[in-house]
Amino acid sequence: MKKIAWDVYMMLRPYVSNIVRIEFHEVTKKAIIDAIANPRAISLSMVGAQLVRRIEDRWIGFGLSQIVQGKFNRKTLSAGRVQTPVLGWIIERYDESRKDKIYAVTMTLSNGVKVRLSIPPDKEEFIKALKAMHRNKSTDVEIKVKVTKAGEAEEELNPVPPYTTDALLRDSANILGLSVEQTMAIAQELFESGLITYHRTDSTRVSNVGISIAKEYISDRFGSDYFVGRAWGGKEVGAHECIRPTRPIDSDDLRNLLNTGLLQLAIRVTANHLRVYDLIFRRFMASQMKSARVLKERFKISLYLNGVNVHEEEVERVSKILEPGFTKVWGYIEGREYQELTPGEYDITSIDYIKKVSRTPPLREGDIIAMMRERGIGRPSTYAKIVDVILKRRYALVVGRRIRYVVPTNLGRQVYRFLTEENKEFSDLVSEERTRIVEKHMDDVEVGERDYMDVLNELFNEAISKGILRENVIS
């Protein structure tokens, strides 16, 4: 956006001298009026950082991509300083997932409660009996389940911060089952329709306007005692905010307004639009509500085969919500799935699921986004694009329906091996550490601590020394 503003500035500069930039992060009347009332000059340091990013992508990314295309004789292939280490994560996690296996078992007890357990593969006789029960085959063995209480404690639960781009993409994938590409497309339309703030952000900061929206909704629906205004964001400064609704209208109200024609939007609102909006709305409102107090209980589940204890496992549940707080709007709390579990001895009425799986499963799309944020490579505006490119290049595939895992292809392995093992001069350019260093250089340029031409000269000389560029190539 900074580079676009600079390009527009340069086009207008021959005809007018008084050129300023306005910035708004939600498409609402108030935000636009406020932006017009508070214009500012073009930030040359921000433009410089954007130039470094774009030129580096062309020198390193495009240069490596041409080399990869020539090696594999396929014009559809690509490489890059962010894309390649992310592909490495996918490969590494998938290989790890194939090593340490257990049996994931979901069973229904005679009291109707379902429990999920992890059985080691060395319990061969027991697993054989469970598989037979899963196939509804008669068996001579007797299996009993004993549930005993292992402890309890009251605990205060604090709400999580409002959404940043990576957190939204992760939850949308894991909770709603939407791909990162789908989520970003929906968020873009919600933003353009004036329903949410800008969706490409790594800030959790909440403005005074956002806090006032939360206060109005929470006080009206639950009472003023439930409202605890939080600015979040720590020491963050600047205009960027979290992803939040622009009005105190929840998804039910939004649906009713659309159905009655009282609110008309330029987009066709689908069920997925409402689901993503609902996720954003609830997460934001929860972040502005008081903490919850719950009672957590630990249970030991013991499995007996013909009277012999063959497996024990502990589970934890939220047995009682003592003070609901933010759980009034946000119900995604670990331990809620065992609400009905109570001590006792039970039979197994059915084995609903039994499969050999990894203790460490392959990465999901949302996991990849979270790792990019945690490890400091990529930007909110590129998180979804990086994953999308890896999938479109057929370096990896998404498998599974209920839970969508990303697994590498043979092509992805070959390209990654070529860039990191077969050519050591390239491996430095696409390493995770190198990517973090380049991101740091861009941050330094943006805050005025480094000159963008100095950074570009370093990148250019390195690209030449590695054989990525010829000396007579400037762009």
Contact 415, 409 (CB under 8 A): no
| Degrees, nearest 5: CA angle 85-91-95 | 145
In a domain, 453, yes or no: no
422's CB contacts (< 8 A; 6+ apart) are none
Total number of domains constituting the chain: 4
Which candidate in 94, 103, 163, 198 is catalytic? 198
Q: Do 169 and 283 lie in a common domain?
A: yes
Give the span between the Cα atoms of 361 and 291, in whole angstroms.
32
Q: Do 273 and 331 lie in a common domain?
A: no
In a domain, 266, yes or no: yes
Q: Do 12 and 60 lie in a common domain?
A: no
- Each residue's pLDDT, cut to its tens digit, for the chain (475 residues) gives 677 888 888 899 899 988 888 888 888 888 889 889 999 888 889 889 888 888 888 888 888 999 999 999 999 999 988 999 999 999 999 999 988 889 999 999 998 888 889 999 989 899 999 999 888 877 778 899 999 999 999 999 999 999 999 999 999 988 998 999 999 999 999 999 999 999 999 899 999 999 999 999 999 999 999 999 999 985 555 557 999 999 999 999 999 999 999 999 999 999 999 999 999 999 999 999 999 999 989 999 999 999 999 999 998 888 888 999 999 999 887 655 566 788 999 999 999 999 888 888 899 998 999 899 888 888 888 898 999 999 999 999 999 877 789 999 999 999 999 999 888 888 888 888 888 888 888 889 988 999 999 999 988 888 888 778 765 444 4
Q: Do 85 and 17 lie in a common domain?
A: no
In a domain, 11, yes or no: yes
Hey, which residues does 40 pair with through a beta bridge?
A: 21
Domain end marker among 287, 317, 349: 287
Contact 165, 241 (CB under 8 A): no
Q: Do 173 and 108 lie in a common domain?
A: no
Domain end marker among 312, 342, 358: 358
| Degrees, nearest 5: CA angle 440-441-446 | 95
Contact 303, 312 (CB under 8 A): yes
Q: Do 77 and 144 lie in a common domain?
A: no
Give the span between the Cα atoms of 227 and 248, in whole angstroms.
13
Q: Do 422 and 393 lie in a common domain?
A: yes
In Å, what is the CA distance from 357 to each residue of 117, 121, 130, 218? 12, 10, 16, 43
In a domain, 473, yes or no: no
Domain with residue 281: its CATH number is: 1.10.290.10
Q: Do 172 and 280 lie in a common domain?
A: yes
Q: Do 258 and 111 lie in a common domain?
A: no
Query: Which pTM value belongs to this model?
Result: 0.81
Hey, what amino acid is at 282?
R
User: What range defines the domain where residue 28 resides?
Assistant: 2-37
In a domain, 471, yes or no: no
Q: pLDDT tens, 45-90?
A: 988 988 888 888 888 888 899 999 999 999 999 998 899 999 999 9
What is the per-residue burial (b if ≥16 Cβ within 10 Å, else e) of 134-159? Answer: beeeeeeeebbbebeeeeeeeeebeb
Give the span between the Cα atoms of 443 and 337, in whole angstroms.
43
Backbone angles phi, psi at 41, to 5 degrees: -75, 160
In a domain, 461, yes or no: no
Domain end marker among 309, 329, 358: 358
219's CB contacts (< 8 A; 6+ apart) are 226, 227
Per-residue model confidence (pLDDT) at position 423: 84
**How distant is the alpha carbon of residue 261 from its chain centre?**
34
In a domain, 65, yes or no: yes
In a domain, 464, yes or no: no
198 labelled catalytic: yes
